[in-house]
């Protein structure tokens, strides 16, 4: 990360990284498939921690709360290094191929969390939706927090979770005015002919 920040992502070679770390290029490739992967090593580690935390989450929590709680637990150590997190985010934003890999890592995270929720007995589709939402909550909170670190990472996560629920729920307040259904869901789609 220090090398990337010093010289810019494109200017750093795998040989440079290996040399700085006191490794051979071959050792590098034993750990990472390519240069991009080195940027996301912390995400892979976070994913492992999220899955471990989720296995410990209170059985009474619903899927979204359980997943968000697991993110908050796993990310707690990150909360001590807002400058590093901000620099890492700026690095990813600087480079299209890192943005692509970042999206792949988020999809992988959501998929892994969904699998862990299923192992808690959550039905497949609910697990997928909750995992996706929890991943969105976490990435949104991380982005808030790197720009406003004094708030703290955990409160940022709680705030993003509350905002997500409010954003998706607001329709219900108006459901009675435009076609609310007996099951509490608004029917918004024109039926097929």
Where along the sequence are the contacts to a second copy (CB under 8 A)?
58, 60-66, 68-69, 72-73, 79, 99-101, 103-104, 107, 125-126, 128-130, 132-133, 136, 140, 152-155, 157-158, 161-171, 173-174, 177-178, 183, 185-192
Residue whose CB is less far from a second copy, 22 or 83: 83
- Torsion of Cα atoms, 39 then 40 then 45 then 50, to 10°: 140
Least CB distance from residue 18 to a second copy, whole Å? 25
Least CB distance from residue 61 to a second copy, whole Å? 6
DSSP tag of 148: S
Least CB distance from residue 7 to a second copy, whole Å? 25
Residue whose CB is less far from a second copy, 68 or 146: 68
Residue whose CB is less far from a second copy, 38 or 157: 157
Residue whose CB is less far from a second copy, 30 or 188: 188
Least CB distance from residue 23 to a second copy, whole Å? 27
Residue whose CB is less far from a second copy, 27 or 99: 99
Least CB distance from residue 76 to a second copy, whole Å? 8
For residues 118 and 24, give the distance between their C-alpha atoms in angstroms, rounded to a whole number. 41
Quick one: 137 exposed, middle or buried, by C-beta within 10 A (0-12, 13-18, 19+)? buried
The encoded tokens of residue 15 equal 């040989």
Provide CB contacts within 8 A for 6, sequence distance 6+.
none
Beta bridge partners of 159: none
For residues 87 and 95, give the distance between their C-alpha atoms in angstroms, rounded to a whole number. 13
Residue whose CB is less far from a second copy, 12 or 156: 156
- Least Cα distance to 68 among 24, 131, 129 occurs for 131
Least CB distance from residue 34 to a second copy, whole Å? 12
Beta bridge partners of 180: 186
């Amino acid at each position: 990360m220090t090398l990337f920040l010093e010289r810019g992502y494109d200017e750093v070679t795998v040989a440079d990284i290996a040399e700085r770390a006191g490794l051979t290029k071959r050792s590098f490739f034993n750990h990472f498939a390519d240069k991009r992967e080195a940027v996301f090593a912390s995400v892979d580690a976070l994913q492992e921690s999220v899955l471990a935390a989720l296995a410990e989450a209170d059985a009474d929590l619903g899927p979204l709360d359980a997943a968000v709680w697991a993110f908050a637990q796993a990310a707690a150590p990150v909360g001590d290094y807002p400058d590093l997190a901000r620099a890492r985010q700026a690095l990813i934003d600087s480079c299209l191929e890192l943005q692509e890999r970042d999206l792949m890592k988020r999809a992988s995270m959501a998929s892994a969390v969904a699998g862990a929720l299923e192992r808690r007995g959550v039905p497949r589709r609910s697990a997928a939706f909750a995992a996706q939402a929890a991943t969105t909550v976490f990435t949104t909170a991380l982005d808030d927090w790197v720009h406003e670190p004094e708030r703290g990472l955990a409160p940022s996560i709680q705030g993003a979770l509350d905002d997500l629920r409010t954003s998706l729920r607001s329709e219900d307040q108006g459901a009675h005015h435009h076609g609310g259904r007996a099951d509490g869901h608004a029917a918004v789609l024109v039926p097929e002919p």
